[in-house]
Amino acid sequence: MGVLRFYHLTRAPVEQTLPKLLRRALDAGMRVQMRCSTAERAAWFDQKLWFGSDDPFLPHGVAGGEHDALQPILLDPEDRLHAGIDCLMCLEGAPVSPEDVAQLDRTFIFFDGHDADALAHARGQWKVLTGAGLGAEYWSEASGRWAMERSVPAADQRA
């Protein structure tokens, strides 16, 4: 069981935040799955990764191609975990299960701090995942830089 982080976006949109974290994951040798809310949003993120980032090229593809297993970053709107994935990044309310988190080195959940529905959904995900005994970290950029604001240890590490 790896790290579970919630990223509360208040200063920059997800498409500006993702490239830095994607680059770090790739540099660490991880394969990343971006779980998108819909097929349309997967296509939108695909375009943003090709043309909307100041970061050097981030090799990626949208699930459903013949080379899915070779993609360093795989975008998928489906609620499934691909083989060989080390890091799952859930975007815009995309679902994640305790079983998903338990299989991965990293799971990141991004949510828009200016959207009441997104906040409520993220709170629900926090309750379900920590209630299942998983440890979790809550990260915020409200101060102008990313900082961990709260953490809950995994059930087997709680006093």
* Secondary structure element (H or E) that encloses residue 136, with its range: strand 136-140
For residue 20, the domain's CATH number is 3.40.50.10110
Q: Provide the residue range defining the domain that includes 17.
A: 11-86
Give the integer Cα–Cα distance in Å for 82 and 137.
24
Question: Which two tokens mark 152?
Answer: 């809950």
Order of strands, edge to edge, in the sheet holding 73-76? Answer: 61-62, 73-76, 32-35, 87-90, 106-112, 3-9, 136-140, 147-152
Give 125's pLDDT tier (boundaries 50, 70, 90).
Answer: very high
Quote the pTM value. 0.94
Question: Which two tokens mark 125?
Answer: 């995900």
Give the integer Cα–Cα distance in Å for 151 and 158.
12
Confirm whether 151 is domain-assigned. no
Question: Comparing 2-11, 53-62, 99-108, 109-118, which segment has the lowest mean pLDDT?
Answer: 53-62
Average pLDDT for 78-105: 96
Q: What is the pLDDT of residue 156?
A: 82
Query: How many domains does the structure of the chain reveal?
Result: 1
Please state, for a pLDDT cut of 90, what percent of the chain lies above it: 86
Q: What is the pLDDT of residue 22?
A: 95
Confirm whether 156 is domain-assigned. no
Q: How far apart are the first and last CA of the chain?
A: 19
Give the strand pairing for 73-76 and 32-35.
Answer: parallel
- Asked whether the predicted pLDDT for residue 104 surpasses 80, the reply is yes
CA distances from 90 to 95, 108, 143, 157 (A): 7, 6, 23, 25
Confirm whether 134 is domain-assigned. no
Average pLDDT for 60-69: 93
Give 159's pLDDT tier (boundaries 50, 70, 90).
Answer: low
